[in-house]
Structure 1
Amino acid sequence: MHHHSSRAAVIAGLVLTAVGATIPASAITQTKAAATPTSPARVVNARWGGHCTYDRLVIDIKGGTPSVGVSRVSSLHYDPSGRKVPLAGNYFLSIRLSPAVAHNSAGTSIYSGPRLATVPLYKLKGLALTGDFEGVVSFGTAFKTKPTWKVTKLHSPERVVVDFAHVNRCA
């Protein structure tokens, strides 16, 4: 009996070791970071650029990168007032960063980027800072045609990148 339980313990140890070896270090780090109370990311700027096959929005961050959610919305509204954002377009996206702030502990804005801008790119036509409320910083984007997008987090320096695909304008 003792012999079988020792073998089972060895097998269980090997399985746990194998499973542990397949967990990427980034997953462990992210779990620890999520469990550790930290100050929210600080959103300090937003900028854009046009490329051959995509338009790019870059949101500059100080501190760690927050989670990012992008969703289609029928119109843009300022948070928390609910006032409509005056950006022209047929399609709109809401970009939400959390936990994040665009102000310091005294309540003074640390965000130096555009608050409401017409953007002269092929796909991206407008950008607005729509909220800095309760640990969420939000932006709204406007388009004439239906957008597709890809979100990437880049480091050193920290930033969130949203690319909006379009036809090749350089060919």
Structure 2
Amino acid sequence: MVKKKVVKVAPPPRAAAPLPEGLAAVRDALGALGFAVQADAESGLAFMFEGGQYYVPAQGDDAGFYHLLFPNFWPLESDEEYGQALFACDAVNREAKLVKLHTVDGDVWAGVEALHAQPQEFVAALPRYLSFVQEAVRVFRDVMLAAQEAEDSAELHPEPLA
């Protein structure tokens, strides 16, 4: 009797969906600038910059719209801190160029939305966008820390009752 050897064959790996043309051009341009870029056709691009993870989400059919996101830079740990964060976001959003701060599921995010005719124009503006985001985050942190210091000071030195 001859024994047959059974060989298990793994299915071939599924090819990843191709990136939209504009997003692929942004990925390539970021790579040329030295960024290590992770790409996914559904979610977009991710890259590190000065210790933070940034994203350029896929935008579907709007080839001229670009969104740079810096998510989760400040976790919100209480309802009181959430209220302080809304105040700080509003203060930054009134003054910051191009940057919008907002809350998402218990965290604060920063983003820049821009319209560009070509992906290369977005990449050319990216260093400026990154500096705008970093400045907005710095101002947000300053406002939050000042609010927390004021709160701590009030707890240590309550005003006397009249």
Q: Common fold, TM-score beyond 0.5?
A: no
| TM-score w.r.t. length of structure 2 | 0.30
Q: How high is the TM-score relative to the length of structure 1?
A: 0.29
When Rg is computed on C-alpha atoms for both structures, the one with the higher figure is 2
Using CA pairs under 8 Å that are at least 6 residues apart, name the structure with larger relative contact order, 1 or 2: 1
The structure whose residues are more often helix, as a share, is 2
